[in-house]
Structure formats: C-alpha cells, structure tokens
Amino acid sequence: PKPNIDPAAMLMKSYACQRRTPLKHHNSILTDALEILAQNAEYNDNEGRSVAFRRAASVLKALPHRVKSMEDLRSLPCLGDHSQRVIKALTGIFGVGVRTADRWFREGLRSPDDLIRTGQQLNRAQQAGVQYYNDLQKPVTKAEADVISDIVEKAVHAVLPGAEIQLMGGFRRGKEVGHDVDFLITHPEEGKEEGLMPKITNWLEEQGLLLYQKTTRNSYLEKMDGPARAPNNMDRFERCFSIFKLQASAESCKSNSTTSVQDISTGSETERPRDQHSEESDWRAVRVDLVVSPYSQFAFATLGWTGSKLFERELRRWAGQEKHMSLSSHALYDSKQNLYLRAKTEEEIFAYLGLEFIPPSERNA
Ligand code: CTP
Ligand code: MN
Ligand code: MN
Ligand code: MN
C-alpha cells in the first residue's frame, strides 16, 4: 500500500529557528509526554537524550494539525525511533498500558478528550485516568504529601492501632515533588497486618477521601518466590493503587475563588468536557500507593520501596553478580549458603551485601 503523505510533515523544516512554533498547538498531549521525558533525561544528566526529546516535541508543536497516524510521524524531522515509540505508548494516562494505547492510537485517538467524545469503552482505572488527567499531570508537592501522610496515619490507626506507617519512594529520598505518594504499612505483631488494606480503603471511602482504588492481595510464598523463581521486579505484597481526593489548603482556595467561573468559561478553548475534573475546583486528585508488609519483611520492603528505580536495579544486579545473592522487596537469599538472610533494618541488608550503608537521601541515582 502507498504510504499516506502528509504535506505539512513533508514541508517541516528541521531547525526550530526555520519554523513558526505557536504557543497553542494541536499536539499538547504528545508534547507534554515528550517534555516530561526530556526533563527526566535532564535530571539524569543525559543532555543528548533530553535535547532529542525536546526537538521531537518542538516539531509536533509546529505541526498545523493533530498527528493522525504513526505514518505522519515518519516523514517528520527529529522524530527518531525512540520518540516514535514513546508517542505510541501515550503513557501519560494512568491505567493505560502500551497495548491499549497502541490500539487507541491506531483508531486515531490522541487525547483524553477524544476518548470521551468517541465513547470508548474504558475500564475503571482508565476512566479515573481520563477524569483526573489534568490533576495527575501536576506534580505532588512535599506539603501535599505531608497532608496525605496525616490522612493515611489516621485511617490506619482507626482500623489497626499500633500499626506503623512509613513514607516511601521519592519523598523518603528527600524529593520536593513527586508523581505520587508512597506508603509502607506494617504491624510489629506478625499476622496483625493480614487483610488490613480493605479495612483502610473502607475507612477512607467512608470519609469520601478516595476517588479510585484497586487493591491486590498478598501472594508471596517464600517457597515459591525464592531461589527457584526467576527474579521478578514486581513484588507480591498486599497493595493498593489509589487516587485520593485532596482538599485544597485554605490559602490556595482563596486564590481560586478570585477567578470567577464566568471568566474561565467564556472562550471555547478553555472549555472542558463535563467528564473531566475541572482545575478550578477546591480539591485535587493525587495518586497514592499503599503497601502492607509483614513485620519480618519490613526491612526488605523498606529498601525496595525507597528507590530510586535505578538504585534498586543496581542493588539487585550487585547482589546477583557480585555476591551470588538474590534480593527482592521480600527477602535476601544467599545461593552459596542456600539460605535466607534475615534482617530487621536496611543497615543489616547493606552489610550482608558487603556495601557501605547509603541513606535514603543519597539513593537518588
Ligand atoms: N516500586 C515497586 N514496585 C512497583 C512500583 C514501584 O517496587 N510496582 C518501587 C520502585 O522501585 C521505587 C518505589 O517503589 O523504588 C517508588 O516508586 P515510584 O512511586 O514509581 O517512584 P518514586 O521514586 O517515588 O518517584 P515519583 O516521585 O515519580 O513517584
Ligand atoms: Mn512515588
Ligand atoms: Mn515514578
Ligand atoms: Mn508509586
């Protein structure tokens, strides 16, 4: 079959200084995703990669229409294989995996609005992802994470006094912003933590604090997940992917109310489909991950859920290649001695691995 030739793409000049790039354009869903990746690459000191993503985003900004097919991208300058794959994945939408994104893309869908307009069948997670798309794109601040910590603590203690709650992920590493807030929950009396998650989510739901949640039961068995099994990055703790409804602080509420609804809804550009949560509301959606660990695995869970992701990957690589050990968020197995190494603290795990202890704030690899 003859490839469709997109004249605008064919005429696209390759230097940004040769093109007109308006502020408002037709591909912001794609360019947002690419710019996040560019920023990420920048944080990781990969300037080449970062510039490549920014160039790709910039080309899409200059395109006088929405990208309609992968075919369109092929004739554009500065859109290498990698950027094309990223665009294909449309990973910006919570709940949308690569396969679904790919199908939607082939059907010509390009944005959350398209999904609503065309009445796509969405599962619960995807509906939430579309509905709270704008909020979930906005970084979560440390102040917001602290408010959510208080809520989670209250919820957990209401259903299981004596339980321990720890802030994990990027915020434990001292980050100022994150894409979500992660918590690890345990109880010093092993067994007390069993079936805890549904009680927590029920409590939160009753308070009207949950917009979405999906809980997965604990499926870890030492016999089966240990040495016999190929290393698996996904842990098997009882866990909950959720979206919290976070009330705006008094301060930001005040600044919101100075803009009247009328001002906002005059231009058709700023009108949002009813199905999407408006940014002018007095609350916002925040992604929260809750994980419950038995006390005996708490040190491993803590190490595994602190990150960064690269730090975790490297820990496991070190354990395997240098120490003939297998590390997961549940356990450390020594293949030479054929035994599990028990630990109560992260420090002990580093010691088993023959590594100098590195505190969370210095695991931002
Ligand atoms: N993690 C995991 N299993 C998952 C998801 C995450 O073990 N299915 C771990 C990751 O390895 C990471 C930690 O949980 O160490 C936090 O993951 P995530 O929230 O994705 O990343 P953060 O480092 O917290 O960064 P961000 O601010 O973007 O949330
Ligand atoms: Mn996180
Ligand atoms: Mn992340
Ligand atoms: Mn997370």
DSSP H helices, the chain, are 7-11, 28-43, 47-62, 70-74, 81-89, 98-106, 112-117, 124-131, 133-137, 142-159, 169-172, 196-206, 222-225, 250-257, 261-264, 298-306, 309-323, 346-352
- The DSSP symbol for 215 reads E
- Residue 201: what pLDDT? 98
Minimal-distance CA residue to ligand 1 atom 14: 305
Q: ipTM of the assembly?
A: 0.95
Task: Give the number of other CB atoms < 10 A from CB of residue 254.
Answer: 10
Tens-digit pLDDT profile for residues 244-303: 999 987 655 444 443 333 333 333 333 344 467 877 789 999 999 999 999 999 999 999
Tell me the C-alpha distance between 43 and 53, whole Å.
13
Q: Of 1-10, 17-26, 191-200, give the lowest mean pLDDT range.
A: 1-10
150 among known catalytic residues: no
β-pairing, 283-292 vs 181-186, is: parallel
Domains of the chain, start order: 7-137 (1.10.150.110), 140-256+279-296 (3.30.460.10), 298-362 (3.30.210.10)
Q: How many A from CA of 16 to the centre of ligand 2? A: 35
249, 208 in Cβ contact below 8 A? no
CA distances in angstroms from 12 to 16, 79, 217, 276, 310, listed in the order given: 10, 12, 51, 34, 37
Tens-digit pLDDT profile for residues 287-296: 999 999 999 9
Q: Residue 47 — very low, low, confident or very high, per pLDDT cuts 50/70/90?
A: confident
Q: Measured from the CB, is residue 169 less than 6 Å from ligand 1?
A: yes
Q: Which atom of ligand 1 is nearest to the CA of 309?
A: 11
Q: Residue 137 — very low, low, confident or very high, per pLDDT cuts 50/70/90?
A: confident
Characterise 121 by phi-psi region: left (phi > 0), alpha (psi -120 to 50), beta (else).
beta
Write down the catalytic residue from 182, 225, 263, 282: 182
182 among known catalytic residues: yes
Q: Residue 153 — very low, low, confident or very high, per pLDDT cuts 50/70/90?
A: very high
Looking at mean pLDDT, say which of 24-28, 134-138, 312-316, 353-357 comes out highest.
353-357
Tell me the C-alpha distance between 288 and 183, whole Å.
8
Distance of CA 353 to the CA centre of its chain: 29
What's the pTM value of the predicted model, to 2 decimals?
A: 0.71
Whether the ω angle into residue 281 lies within 30 degrees of 0, i.e. cis, is no
